Chain A
Amino acid sequence: GESVGLHLPTLSVQEGDNSIINCAYSNSASDYFIWYKQESGKGPQFIIDIRSNMDKRQGQRVTVLLNKTVKHLSLQIAATQPGDSAVYFCAEKTAGGYNKLIFGAGTRLAVHP
């Protein structure tokens, strides 16, 4: 399996800088959000999630911010490394069960040494 060379917006950063990837979600009733990372040749991998009753959640080197007022989600990566180069997708779960996830278009992150 591979990522398919999507014509995506690209964020280029220098190694060691912080990265911020943004996402606008569609459904104001969504109650759960996830960021995924997709490297070439692999399926999307879970990075971090956040529920709608929170506005910030931190992981290891990553932070997700949620602004429900404007339906905006962001992923911050601290001290970006070459291994962070990938396509990043936000996904929202529609309220109502069964964990149905709708994915955004994705952003390509390119980390330069």
Chain B
Amino acid sequence: DAGVIQSPRHEVTEMGQEVTLRCKPISGHNSLFWYRQTMMRGLELLIYFNNNVPIDDSGMPEDRFSAKMPNASFSTLKIQPSEPRDSAVYFCASTFPKASYGYTFGSGTRLTVV
């Protein structure tokens, strides 16, 4: 199993540009989570899906952030327009929906907005 796959690994973009981060969860996992990690705020849950349906997006910081999960094997996190304060490492994680399973995290995308 290749694990949770995120792309790109690194993204540098100019303020105002649209950024799209991608995630492929582990096959068979039907819960998917997007986290953001920053120096100031640590690991923050942005949004999570169960069976491709967004369950809780209360962690999404602003309307500039949006996430989709069109099918069980793919999710995107989009920032439009991007701002320097969005610079962070963004992690995707997946798991089974029942309790007693920890998440499997991807390697993350380091986003730098200049």
Contact = CB atoms under 8 A, between A and B. Distances in A.
Interface string A76-113: 00000000000001000100011111111110000000
Interface in B76-106: 88-89, 91, 93, 95-106
B17 interface: no
Interface string A21-65: 000000000011010100001111110010100000000000000
Given A1-B106, A2-B108, A4-B38, A93 B91 contact: no
A51 B95 CA distance: 17
B31 interface: yes
Interface of A, helix, strand, loop or mixed by DSSP: loop
Given A46-B103, A98-B31, A2 B89 contact: yes
Contacts of B55: 98, 100
Given A1-B6, A103-B43, A105-B42, A43 B107 contact: yes
B45 interface: yes
B14 interface: no
B25 to A, nearest CB: 13
A103 B103 CA distance: 12
B104 to A, nearest CB: 7
B75 interface: no
Contacts of B20: none
B49 to A, nearest CB: 9
B102 A51 contact: no
A106 B50 CA distance: 27
B64 interface: no
Contacts of B18: none
Give 9 closest A-B pairs by Cβ, nearest first: A1-B108, A43-B105, A46-B102, A1-B107, A103-B43, A34-B102, A44-B105, A105-B42, A43-B107
19 contacts: A1-B106, A1-B107, A3-B37, A4-B37, A7-B39, A34-B103, A43-B106, A43-B108, A44-B103, A46-B102, A46-B103, A98-B48, A99-B95, A99-B103, A100-B48, A100-B56, A101-B45, A102-B45, A106-B43
Interface of A: 1-7, 31-32, 34, 36, 41-46, 49, 51, 89, 93, 97-106
